[in-house]
Structure 1
Amino acid sequence: MPDRDFSVQWNSAVRQRFGDTGPELVLLDLDGTLIDSVPDLAAAVDTMLAALGREPAGQQQVSHWIGNGADMLIRRALSCGDEDAANALTASELQTPRQLFDTAYLSTLHQATGVFPGVSDWLERVTTPKILITNKPRLFTVPLIDSLGWTGHFLRLICGDDFSEKKPSPMPLFKACEFANVTPSNALMIGDSRHDIGAAKAAAICSAAVTYGYNHGDDIALSHPDYLLNSLFDLMEPKNA
């Protein structure tokens, strides 16, 4: 539902940092920040595991494995979350599971995915240029954003397989700023995980973290973002202020 208790003016803390007009560019994570994609991802993971004769992982486990792209999600699922075992899997060992996952996820894409409260309204009302930066592959990102009717909200979609590095590397953030012709110090990164905040810090970009996301089950405050948000509208000035 629209959050009409907030204006489209940035709050005093944001204006103090960026000036009265706020940041020149907003960089936004997708999963765990704008959308709750766990139901669809968990369904795809469990379909993959079932085809491999494995036990299902379930939504709670999958929510802790999200954030580093599809390949790492599959690695964690195959190794029951053991990071060392996940990283030790070879490309050939991933080939069939990845094909199974891709087929399953494309067939369930957006069936259960939900938009977090206030997000659609915020994207519509806040006119600052925005670029989406996700570790999700382009194969999944483009149809998902299109199905949500959000394509027009973003200058560009930067996906996990667009460049040689993805978050927590700062490369995608630098590429976004370069594309928008904005210096990193005039940009704001909003995400839900330590990878988003780490990438922002590495790029010397101001960061805001939502508290309702995934972050592998850890408290996002431990990553020390510049702002902690219960809603994207926490960045905006209340109407009665």
Structure 2
Amino acid sequence: MTKTPWQAVKVIAFDLDGTLVDSVPDLAAATNATLSELNLANAQEQQVRSWVGNGAKVLMTRALSFAQPNKPVDEINQQLDSVMPRFMHHYGLHLEKHSELYPEVLETLTKFKTSGYKMAVVTNKPYEFTIPLLKSFGLFDFFEQILGGDSLTRMKPDPLPLIHLIDFWDVAPHQLLMVGDSKNDILAAKSAQVLSIGLTYGYNYGEHIGLSSPDAVCESFSQVGDLLLN
């Protein structure tokens, strides 16, 4: 029987937003609460979906630019110093109110854990929000490593978080798999020379994840399990 690259995988790193959890409804609520405080126009949830993936600061930069289209970029950046604490406050209030676990996530993670895979979360979401979100959906205990966007000096698409996992578990790059919904996940995987699976159902700036050329494309979370476990 011909061996597949998936048979070498020992460690699986998962993105969070758009991969395990649909968190945009709460991010949109926090974004609009922040904009409302500034007497600025609110955004539609679909717009917020296109802004997610590069961390909270970039999300609010995009939101402020949307609401103030004539404002210069340097003034938007100056605004962030006072706006970010308010956004973080509102997101803390909305963290678990409207977010939903994607179908078959719990079942598939359980299969991976039973099969002996080491698992990690690698997200650009701030660490302080990552932990309570994972706990609220019963996901926390699946993961031995949880890296937020501020856990290391650089975040995705930089390969540093994945290189950290390679070093932590002392595995070869081809033994690590990155699973995510965004081109940032795939770019990080390619830079770290690890395998990648792109999910079609998350947030990827309106682009099909296949355009980033991951090693495989899956339309559901359970298909990741099918690839690795069958």
Q: How does 1:201-216 map to 2 (within 5 A)?
A: 201-216=190-205
SS in 2 for 1:189: strand
Write the distance in 2 (CA, Å) between the matches of 1:189 and 1:81.
Answer: 34
TM-score after normalising by structure 1: 0.87
The answer to whether the 8 A contact 1:131-1:156 is kept is: yes
Residues 103 and 195 from structure 1, CA distance in 2 versus in 1: closer, same or farther, beyond 3 angstroms? same
Paired position in structure 2 for 1:120: 106
- Displacement of 1:126 in angstroms is 1.2
Q: Which amino acid aligns with 2:28?
A: A
Question: How much is the aligned-residue C-alpha RMSD, in angstroms?
Answer: 2.2
Query: Does 1:17 find its partner at 2:16?
Result: no
Partner of residue 16 from structure 2, selected from 30, 42, 45? 30
* Residue identity matched to 2:198: A
1:229 to 218, 226, 229: 218
Q: Which amino acid aligns with 2:156?
A: K
Correspondence for 1:106 among 75, 88, 92 = 92
Over 3 Å counting, the alpha-carbon distance change for 1:189 and 1:81 in structure 2 is: farther
Structure 1 residue 237, shift from structure 2 partner: 4.0
Matched, 1:64 2:50: yes
Distance 1:224 1:104, change over 3 A: same
Q: Please give the secondary structure, in 1, of the residue aligned with 2:58.
A: helix
Give % identity. 37
Residue correspondence of structure 1 range 83-162 to structure 2 within 5 A = 88-89=74-75, 92-127=78-113, 128-162=117-151
- C-alpha deviation, 1:72, in angstroms: 0.5
Q: Which amino acid is the alignment partner of residue 158 of structure 1?
A: L
Deviation at 1:91, TM superposition (A): 5.4
Task: Tell me the equivalent position of 1:3.
Answer: none
Residue 185 (structure 1) aligned to one of 158, 167, 174: 174
Q: Secondary structure at the match of 2:163?
A: helix
CA contact (8 A) 2:112 2:225 kept: no
- For the 8 Å contact 1:158–1:176, the answer to whether it is kept is no
Work out the CA distance in 2 between the residues paired with 1:69 and 1:138: 11
Change in 2 beyond 3 A, CA 1:209/1:87:
farther
Distance in 1 between residues matched to 2:6 and 2:75, nearest whole Å: 45
User: Tell me, which stretches of 5 or more residues in structure 2 are unaligned?
Assistant: none
Relative to structure 1, the CA distance from residue 89 to residue 67 in structure 2 (aligned partners, 3 Å threshold; closer, same or farther) is: farther
| Shift in alpha-carbon separation, 1:76–1:27, aligned structure 2, 3 A | same
Unaligned ranges ≥5, structure 1: 1-11
Query: Match for residue 38 of structure 2?
Result: 52
Shift of 1:99: 1.3
Deviations 1:151-205 (A, max 9, x none): 1100110110011110000001101121122221111100000000000001111
CA distance in structure 2 between the aligned counterparts of 1:176 and 1:67, rounded to whole angstroms: 20
After superposition, what is the alpha-carbon deviation per residue over 1:190-240, rounded to whole angstroms, capped at 9, x for unaligned? Answer: 0000000000001111110011011011111110111000112213349xx
* Structure 2 counterpart of 1:150, one-letter code: L
- TM-score normalized with structure 2 length: 0.91
1:39 is aligned to 25
Q: How many residues align?
A: 224
